[in-house]
Amino acid sequence: MSSPVFYNCPPSGNCYKVRLFAALAGIPLDIRNVDLAAGSHKTPEFTALNPWQQVPVLQDGEIVIWDSQAILVYLAEKHAKTAWWPTDPGARAHVVEWLSVSVNEIQHGPADARLVKKFNYPLRYDDAVTASMRTLAIIDRHLTHHAWLAGNRPTLADCAAYPYLALAPEGGISLDAYPALRQWLARVEALPGYISVDA
| Residues 137-174 pLDDT 10s | 999 999 999 999 999 999 999 999 999 999 999 999 99
- Whether 110 maps to a domain, the answer reads yes
Q: Is the separation of the CB atoms in 104 and 159 below 8 Å?
A: no
- What CATH number is attached to the domain comprising 138? 1.20.1050.10
Q: Of 82, 107, 122, which one is at a domain's C-terminal end?
A: 82
68-111 confidence digits (pLDDT tens): 999 999 999 998 777 899 999 999 999 999 999 999 999 999 99
Number of domains within the chain: 2
Do 92 and 184 fall into the same domain?
yes
14 CB-contact burial (10 Å; exposed 0-12 / middle 13-18 / buried 19+): buried
Q: Of 48, 65, 82, which one is at a domain's C-terminal end?
A: 82
Do 72 and 94 fall into the same domain?
no
* For the chain, counts of helices (H) and of strands (E): 9, 4
CA R_g for the chain: 16
Q: Which domain holds residue 63?
A: 5-82
Q: How far is it, in rounded angstroms, from Cα 35 to Cα 88?
A: 40
Of how many residues is the chain composed?
Answer: 199
Do 125 and 176 fall into the same domain?
yes
